[in-house]
Amino acid sequence: MNTVVIDSLQSMPLRQLQITHSKGIFMLQIIVPMAGAGSRFAVAGYTDPKPLIPVHGVPMIKVVIDNLTPNCPHRFIFIFICQADQVATYSLREKLNAWAPGCDIVELGGLTGGAACSVYTARHLLDYSQQVMIANSDQYVDVDINAYLQAINESDAAGLIMTMKASDPKWSFVGFSAEGLITRVVEKEVISDEATVGIYNFRNAGQLISAIETMVMKDLRVNGEFYVAPAYNEIIGRGAKVIHYSIGAEGHGMYGLGIPADLNQFLSLPLSRQPREGRPDMQIISHRGYWLQKPERNLPEAFHRSFDLGFGTETDVRDVAGQLVISHDMPVGGELTLEELLAIMAGRNLPLAINIKADGMAQALAKTFARYGHTNWFAFDMAVPDMRSYFHANVITYTRLSEVEPSPAWIEKAAGVWLDGFEGEWFSSQVIGDLLSQGKQVCVVSPELHGRDHRSLWQQLLELDAHDGLTICTDIPADAATFFK
């Protein structure tokens, strides 16, 4: 009886950051262990922690979150095994709460006995009567997660395993009965042509926790570790039904992101751009960076926070002695330069809205952005005669529309509209819809920028039939991400 492992897990130091239980209604609990050190990425020259390594500008873990997020009520639980200072240095808690609102986060004080033991440390966060899904933090699956979940929800099965065609013994494999039910799960041994992908569902979390405890008590390790997949053997042995859902094969349905070679292969595929380009959601940009106190506006810390959380930004640019600098008011010296801002962006190509504060900058702006390879930007708020120079420089240019500017200048040539309300929300949903139907991009100024409550306009935007082509500029981008998600 391996009580030592169980006792050590139960006494392991945990730092619980946020707990939000939703008892009484269906709530899919999604556990994502993030224990890998990412050492092979470090050797390859990557400086970001593995969860934040960009996939076409989107942090890897955000790609995974978007890939796994279902339509049903759900709650993510992330498990870290890393140094606390790394979590703080990279604002991992803040990022995860923005990308998976309402998530729970567990930091472990040290290594566990394997993936199953890591999952077990989240037991205090689980509603044992609710369904649980365990998923890897470094893979992408080309499947509708809702269709996958439907397979267990429309059956009487106690467990569901996502599988793929494979023959390499590096995987876990499932064995079948004549009726197609899973009879056993084996690590690192080819017993069929269906291997596990790394996404596992249990009808209720209590079954999972009990199975892990039994497996650990029996000391059923593989290569010295306790894996999640063999836990199904414990519930199968009790008479439970476990089914599978096949999604194709490695490289044709399941795509690993966990080592540099696999990530580079994925990045070469058109499919890899879907996490960034395939969702017609509203874009959210911060206003002069994601600042927490007003003195931070247009300063590096606000831009770092915004970009690290996946939000582009609106900012102000003017020229001083031949240099493009970030400054809303008249510069006093020491301002951040546009090149320094783009260095903070670090190739992520998030949207930038450039508020033009001086004439004659079109060519210099275009050359600077081209030099940094940043294509996702537009200019607005320049003097009307100066707009012509932006059109000539092939810069994406927005015109203004507000209650004091009811006739937008150069509307026929402008790519988009900066939609503002200084005294109130004078425009209707039809105004926005008409602009979008004309092929114009629309960036709406959120009311809190003018000291008004934002909730009514946000609800109006949420109820629009389509968000493709729509952006909101806000002082509270994380709140917007939660609301519009």
Question: What's the rounded Cα separation, in Å, for the pair 297 and 20?
Answer: 32
Q: What is the pLDDT along the chain (485 residues), one digit of tens a residue?
A: 355 555 555 554 443 333 333 344 578 999 999 866 667 898 998 888 889 898 887 889 999 999 999 988 889 999 976 555 667 777 788 788 778 888 888 888 777 899 999 999 999 999 999 999 999 999 999 998 999 999 999 999 999 999 999 999 999 999 999 999 999 999 999 999 999 999 999 999 999 999 999 999 999 999 999 999 999 999 999 999 999 999 999 888 999 999 999 999 999 888 887 654 444 468 999 999 999 999 999 999 999 999 988 899 999 999 999 999 999 999 999 999 999 999 998 877 889 999 999 999 999 999 999 898 888 899 999 999 999 999 999 899 999 999 999 999 999 999 999 999 999 999 999 999 999 888 899 999 999 999 999 999 999 999 887 777 899 999 999 899 888 86
Question: What's the rounded Cα separation, in Å, for the pair 410 and 4?
Answer: 74
Residue tagged 């209590």 (tokens):
206
pLDDT of residue 15: 38
- Spatial CA neighbour of 171 closest among 67, 254, 272: 254
DSSP 8-class letter at 332: -
Burial class (CB in 10 A: 0-12, 13-18, 19+), 204: middle
pLDDT of residue 11: 53
pLDDT of residue 356: 99
- Residue 470's DSSP bridge partners are 442
Under 8 Å between Cβ of 119 and 79: yes
pLDDT of residue 1: 37
Query: How long, in residues, is the chain?
Result: 485
- Quick one: three-class SS letters along the chain? CCHHHHHHHHHCCEEECCCCCCCCCCCEEEEEEECCCCHHHHHCCCCCCHHHCEECCEEHHHHHHHHHCCCCCEEEEEEEECCHHHHHHCCHHHHHHHHCCCCEEEEECCCCCCHHHHHHCCHHHCCCCCCEEEECCCEEECCCHHHHHHHHHCCCCCEEEEEEECCCCCCEEEEECCCCCEEEEEECCCCCCEEEEEEEEECCHHHHHHHHHHHHHCCCCECCECCCCCHHHHHHHCCCCEEEEEEEEECEEEEECCCHHHHHHHHCCHHHHHHHHCCCCCEEEEECCCCCCHHHCCCHHHHHHHHHCCCEEEEEEEEECCEEEECCCCCCCCCCEHHHHHHHHCCCCCCEEEEECCCCCHHHHHHHHHHCCCCCEEEECCCCCCHHHHHHCCCCEEEEEECCECCCCCCCCCCEEEECCCCCCCCCHHHHHHHHHCCCEEEEECHHHHCCCCHHHHHHHHCCCCCCCEEEEECCHHHHHHHHC
Buried b (16+ CB within 10 A) or exposed e, 150-183: eebbeeebbbbbbbbbbeeeebbbbeeeeeebbe
Q: Indicate yes or no: pTM above 0.85.
A: no
- Residue 74's DSSP bridge partners are 28
Question: What's the rounded Cα separation, in Å, for the pair 74 and 128?
Answer: 14
Count CA atoms within 13 Å of residue 404 on its CB side. 5
Centre a 10 Å sphere on the Cβ of residue 259 and count the other Cβ atoms it contains: 17
Question: What's the rounded Cα separation, in Å, for the pair 46 and 455?
Answer: 41
Q: Tokens at residue 404, please?
A: 């004091």
Domains located in the chain, CATH noted: 3-276 (3.90.550.10), 282-484 (3.20.20.190)
pLDDT of residue 23: 41
Question: What's the rounded Cα separation, in Å, for the pair 474 and 485?
Answer: 15
pLDDT of residue 13: 44
Cβ within 8 Å of residue 371, ≥6 positions away: none
pLDDT of residue 16: 37
pLDDT of residue 10: 57
* Torsion sign across C-alpha atoms 71, 278, 305, 49: positive
Question: What's the rounded Cα separation, in Å, for the pair 317 and 43?
Answer: 38
Residue tagged 């008004």 (tokens):
452
pLDDT of residue 437: 82
